[in-house]
Amino acid sequence: MTKKQQEPSGPEPSAVHSYTVSLHYDRRLYRQDIAGSIAHARMLARQGIMTDKDAELIGMGLVAIREEIERGEFPWRDELEDLHMNVEARLHERIGEVAGKLHTGRSRNDQVATAMRLYAKEACDKTLAGIRALQGALLKQAEANLTTVLPGYTHLQRAQPVLLAHHLLAYFHMLERDAERFRETRRRADVMPLGSAALAGAAYPLDRRWMAKELGFSAISKNSMDAISDRDFLLDYQAAAAIGMMHLSRLAEELVLWSSEEFGFVRLADAFTTGSSIMPQKRNPDFAELARGKTGRVYGHLVGLLTVLKGLPLTYNRDLQEDKEGFFDTADTLQATLEVFAPMIESMTVRAERMRQATEAGYMLATDLADYLARRGVPFRKAHGIVAELTKYAAATGKTYQQLSLEEYKKFSPDFAADVLEITEERSLAARDVPGGTAPERVAQALAEARKLLEAADGP
């Protein structure tokens, strides 16, 4: 066997090169990347590091390139690997050797970190707007159903009657916590790394604070090595997104259950259901089901980035190229889900009578009966046992509490009196008259406060 035969052939050169290419996903950073470059060039001119004429020529060239990209006319070249080198090469083609001055005092390391932070801030703003839209849809349904009663569940078993508005407000407040997390994420992303150069800082008198103001950052990074390698702001976004998708998945699960024939509490608009390929009667809640499924995908991206970062020494390592695809997909997935949920909630039809029937069919006034006995001096634990036996009896005889006679009540405790027959779902609701409770007046007040909170939310 010859030496040539013994040596395995290597991969095709194109396959080797394509392994490092990030252009197919990092090109979406073009606006942020170009904005950073324009600010950098203008700062260099302000500091006397390049002439005003050169800075103006570079700025005009970069604006023209941005317009080319937006028209779909930019000549992308995979062999240049990424967005940054594509823009730089194109700028050289348009304005000549002057383009080479742009990279003075800058590295791709701080360049991409800056673009990613700008993008993350914008993603937070879009996410916050999506959260506010969904909160608005929930409030509209809650305000339209302030007197609608449905079973509240524990262990997916009917537990106690609650107002639908109270139930919907629970999701409003989940989303409010999500909004708080994304506002904090935006604040943490609002730190400019530009000027950190490759890792040690630039060897030129850069005015970093001027650039930060120009790019809309409220602060500059304090340590160049940390600034280059920091991706915590992406973890912040993905962690907040994972929690947010979990909340949406819980709401999705309830929509799936509530829209089923077994529950029949709501009817989703046709735009948010699909039919079956074989069963023409089906109205499948596919949009809600997809949200449940996409939640796992968002979780995966968070774990993926944590895993990328866990073993990296300072400062930049090529592993950090893997910070983008998962983040972009997470932001896209969360935003799309929010955009679907707002109109899905707003357009759904509430079947209040079906909810009411489900409330009356169960034994959800059991706690009220135990409280009734406790107010008459019966220790609550004993009262609990009495009502448990009463409930078994009622179920065995096929009666609801309202169908039992006073004599039947007294078989289980002499402390029952005629007014026990007056315990209804309405009285049960009214009894929960504590802050945060489901009493109608408390819920009306909570709705007004939620509406005020939403109207006061004017951005990050």
**CATH number of 86's domain:** 1.10.275.10
Residue 149: give its domain's CATH number: 1.20.200.10
- Between β-strands 266-267 and 349-350, what pairing exists: parallel, antiparallel or unpaired? antiparallel
Same domain, 176 and 189: yes
CA-based nearest residue to 345, from 83, 42, 75, 137: 137
Indicate the DSSP class of residue 218.
S
What pLDDT score does 13 carry? 62
Catalytic residue among 107, 155, 249, 301: 155
Same domain, 269 and 154: yes
Same domain, 351 and 380: no
CB atoms closer than 10 angstroms to residue 56: 13
What pLDDT score does 15 carry? 67
How far is Cα 115 from Cα 38, in angstroms, rounded to an integer? Answer: 12
Q: In this structure, which amino acid lies at residue 230?
A: D
442 within domain boundaries: no
Same domain, 371 and 400: yes
Same domain, 28 and 142: no
CA-based nearest residue to 58, from 103, 114, 26: 103
Q: Which residues of 96-131 are buried (b: 16+ CB within 10 A; e: fewer)?
A: eebbebbeebbbbbbbbbbbbbbbbbebbeebbebb
> What is the domain extent for residue 401?
366-423
Whole-model pTM: value is 0.92
Could you tell me if 150 and 358 are in contact, meaning their C-beta atoms sit under 8 angstroms apart?
yes
> Which residue among 104, 122, 151 closes a domain?
104
Catalytic residue among 14, 218, 260, 276: 276
> Which residue among 104, 133, 165 closes a domain?
104
What pLDDT score does 138 carry? 98
273 within domain boundaries: yes
290 within domain boundaries: yes
How far is Cα 148 from Cα 400, in angstroms, rounded to an integer? Answer: 21
Task: Establish whether 218 is a catalytic residue.
Answer: no
Report the half-sphere exposure of 104 (CA within 13 A, side-chain side): 24
Same domain, 292 and 232: yes
452 within domain boundaries: no
How far is Cα 188 from Cα 409, in angstroms, rounded to an integer? Answer: 62
395 within domain boundaries: yes
Mean pLDDT, consecutive 10-residue segments, the chain of 460 residues? 54 74 94 98 98 98 98 95 96 97 97 98 98 98 97 94 98 98 98 98 97 98 98 98 98 97 96 72 87 98 98 96 97 98 98 94 91 95 96 93 93 94 93 96 97 80
Same domain, 186 and 154: yes
Same domain, 330 and 266: yes
Same domain, 392 and 255: no
Instruction: Please give the tally of structural domains in the chain.
Output: 3
288 within domain boundaries: yes
Q: Which H or E element spans position 291?
A: helix 286-309
396 within domain boundaries: yes
Same domain, 244 and 199: yes
Q: Map residue 160 onto helix, strand or coil.
A: strand
285 within domain boundaries: yes
Same domain, 138 and 276: yes
Residue 419: give its domain's CATH number: 1.10.40.30
Same domain, 63 and 200: no
Q: Which H or E element spans position 161?
A: strand 157-163
> Which residue among 70, 104, 138 closes a domain?
104
DSSP E strand boundaries for 279-412:
349-350
Task: Establish whether 155 is a catalytic residue.
Answer: yes
How far is Cα 319 from Cα 72, in angstroms, rounded to an integer? Answer: 30
